[in-house]
Amino acid sequence: MRFVKMHGTGNDYVYVDCLRDSRESLEALQDPASLAVMISKPHFGIGADGLVLIGSSETADFSMRIFNADGSEAEMCGNASRCIGKYVYERGLTHKLEISLETKAGVRTVWLSEQDGVVTSVRVDMGAPSFRPREIGVDLPGDRAVLAPVKVAGSAWRMTCVSMGNPHAVVFVQEDPAYLDLNAVGSAFEHHPLFPHRINTEFVQVLGRDALRMRVWERGAGETLACGTGACAALVAAAMCSLTDRRATVHLLGGDLDIEWNPYTDHVFLTGPAAFVFEGDWKPG
Three-state DSSP at 97 gives: coil
User: What is the CA 18 to chain-centroid distance, rounded?
Assistant: 21
169 touches 159 (CB < 8 A): yes
User: What is the CA 209 to chain-centroid distance, rounded?
Assistant: 23
How far is residue 202 from each of residues 54, 73, 109, 177, measured CA to CA in Å?
A: 27, 20, 25, 10
Residues in the chain: 285
What contacts 24+ positions apart, CB below 8 Å, involve 188-196?
188/152, 188/153, 189/152, 189/217, 190/217, 190/219, 192/150, 192/152, 193/139, 194/138, 194/139, 194/140, 194/150, 195/137, 195/138, 195/139, 195/167, 195/169, 196/137, 196/139
**DSSP letter for each residue of 209-233:** TTEEEEEEEETTTEEES--HHHHHH
- Of 77, 83, 161, 232, which residue is the catalytic one? 77
Answer yes or no: 232 catalytic: no
- Of 18, 83, 161, 227, which residue is the catalytic one? 227
Contacts of 215 (CB under 8 A, 6+ apart): 177, 178, 180, 182, 202, 203, 223, 252, 253
Answer yes or no: 83 catalytic: no
DSSP, res 252: E
Kindly state the greatest CA–CA separation across the chain: 54
- Where in the sequence numbering do the catalytic residues fall? 77, 227
